[in-house]
Structure 1
Amino acid sequence: MPEDGHIRALWILETLAGLQQPAALKTIAERAGLPQTKAYRVLRNLQEHGYVDHIGRRGYRVGGRALALASLVGPRPALLHRVRPVLTRLSADVGATISLLLRSGAHRVIVLRADPPGTAVHPIAHIGERSPLTSGCAGAVILAFLPAQQVDEVLLAPESHPVRTDLPEQLAEIRRQRYAISQSANHPALNGIAAPVLDPDSGHALGSLAIAGHPSRVAEPVLHRFATPLLAACAELGPRLATVLGPSSSVRLESLDVTIQDVLDTHSVE
């Protein structure tokens, strides 16, 4: 555990970023390995300087100043430049919403989305949404292509429970066909198909690309037909995403690529 006060503050901020927002003081302290009294003092200091917001009894969330700093030093501009054209083209080709998701610990996070042109889409899944890797096709395809040790760590994480007993067989099937389909897994009114975006060097998942839509428009047979263009887009995205995220990105993502829905939804993506 860091002893220096400044490093401890960064440790707390990184810990908070990796938790479901807002997070309770007790949860933050336990995850950071600090007594609640010490964690509270650090959080209060971060709050006073705008790096953390206190949401009453709901707990704490990453503040605007921390998000502004992340936008300056993070990969988001490069991510938009290299990745968004692929999402936009695929969305136009299949006539459905496309999402790019990255791993954040035992969760997957929606970081970019493209909607089909000329349609009034009211998305159910928003940028910044986090769900366990063990729930839904977009998380499962990331999990299936992680190193074995990381898969075990995810399955042991509290966020992942309860784990389906057939999950190992499901992951093996995903590795075989290289995509997964889910029906109303995270949202009652959404069906989806997802495939992993792989690091061309390691073969491990950098994230996933998902196509989603209302069951009346994207029933299971339609989803299977989307597999070919989806896999082609993932193959195109792999090298682009690897250059943005760098080597060993599946390890480094952990808490560092979490996005906050309240903030990101206020910014339009050009």
Structure 2
Amino acid sequence: MTDGYIRALRILETLAGLQQPALLKTIAERAGLPRTKVYRVLRELQDHGYIDHIGRSGYRVGGRAIALASLVGPRPALLQRARPVLIRLAAEAGEFVSLHLRSGAHRVLVLGASPPGTAAGRNESIGERSPLTSGCGGTAILAFLPASQIEDLLNAQDNHATRRDLPKHLEQIKRQGYATSQSANHQEMHGIAAPVLDPDSGHALGSVAIAGHASRMPEPVLHRLATPLLAACADLGPRLATVLGPSSSVRLESLDVTIQDVLDTQDAG
């Protein structure tokens, strides 16, 4: 590894160990590096989805880093809070259930649960990254972000038709509290997703989606699943806010990812 990669990992590790969001000044002081150098690294990590910039509040660990942590090793703080809710919902729905977290303009699948007695389903897709503008797992998050962030994300869209049609679609999602999609990211897969909201801000921390083959999940079935899905998200919101919210108190020991973990994994490979 070059010095640049090591520096980026150390800064990411430093951020993970702070109450989040953390200010640039705090991160630089804790990392023992010049503020200008830390800022450049943070911008690059942000561009690649490993951290999120929360305006004047500072920076916090992004969905892509959390997905990496899930692959490197267990994440007790997240797993303990989210897995039981996903397992109950998968049993009730009889379909694969997944938790998605925002990473900049994308959502990342970080945790999944299959109904009892079935194969692992799409658990092999942990770490899958898709735009917030595509599929119910993304649009359920996008519709419940601050208005200024939604505007920025829509303005960044290359497709003029998407920019024109999506605002009306997001308004509908916000009114009904959930999003549906049909073959948006995976052929012949239908889904329904609802946001996991921070109880203080009302903004989306992530989303929970129920997905299955089109033959089992026509539109009427999708809408019937809204009731248990919304109940699960309401249960999960306060639990995840302690890990992922703007006032998260979670530190490095709960994230279970350190530079040494990454190096050890690389050496083992």
Give yes or no for TM over 0.5.
yes
Query: What letter matches 2:100 in structure 1?
Result: L
Secondary structure of the structure 2 residue equivalent to 1:217: coil
Deviation of 1:14 after TM superposition, in Å, equals: 1.6
Secondary structure of the structure 2 residue equivalent to 1:233: helix
Of 5-14 and 86-95, the range deviating more from structure 2: 5-14
Cα deviation digits, residues 38-64 of structure 1 (max 9, x gap) = xxxxxxxxxxxxxxxxxxxxxxxx99x
Q: 2:49 aligns with which of 15, 18, 21?
A: 18
Partner of 2:146: 147
Deviation of 1:174 after TM superposition, in Å, equals: 0.7
Partner of 1:245: 244
Deviation of 1:90 after TM superposition, in Å, equals: 0.4
Partner of 1:109: 108
Superposition CA RMSD, Å: 3.2
4+ runs of 1 displaced by more than 6 Å? none
Cα deviation digits, residues 192-232 of structure 1 (max 9, x gap) = 00001111111111110100000111111111110000000
Note if contact 2:196-2:233 (Cα within 8 Å) is conserved in structure 1.
Answer: yes
Secondary structure of the structure 2 residue equivalent to 1:201: coil
Note if contact 2:134-2:184 (Cα within 8 Å) is conserved in structure 1.
Answer: yes
In structure 2, relative to structure 1, the CA distance for the partners of 1:125 and 1:180 (3 Å cut) is: farther
Secondary structure of the structure 1 residue equivalent to 2:217: coil
Distance 2:154 2:124 in 1: 24
Distance 1:247 1:11 in 2: 18
In structure 2, relative to structure 1, the CA distance for the partners of 1:168 and 1:16 (3 Å cut) is: closer
From the two aligned structures, give the one with the greater helix fraction.
Answer: 2
- TM-score (normalised: structure 2): 0.67
Deviation of 1:166 after TM superposition, in Å, equals: 1.4
In structure 2, relative to structure 1, the CA distance for the partners of 1:8 and 1:236 (3 Å cut) is: closer
Partner of 2:92: 93
Distance 1:141 1:15 in 2: 22
Note if contact 2:141-2:206 (Cα within 8 Å) is conserved in structure 1.
Answer: yes
Deviation of 1:71 after TM superposition, in Å, equals: 6.5
In structure 2, relative to structure 1, the CA distance for the partners of 1:138 and 1:171 (3 Å cut) is: same
- TM-score (normalised: structure 1): 0.66
Secondary structure of the structure 2 residue equivalent to 1:191: strand
Note if contact 1:124-1:187 (Cα within 8 Å) is conserved in structure 2.
Answer: no
Cα deviation digits, residues 166-201 of structure 1 (max 9, x gap) = 111111111110011100001112100000111111
Distance 2:183 2:123 in 1: 11
In structure 2, relative to structure 1, the CA distance for the partners of 1:164 and 1:15 (3 Å cut) is: closer
- Correspondences of 1:95-174 after superposition (within 5 Å): 95-123=94-122, 126-157=125-156, 160-162=157-159, 163-174=162-173
Same amino acid, percent of matched pairs = 64
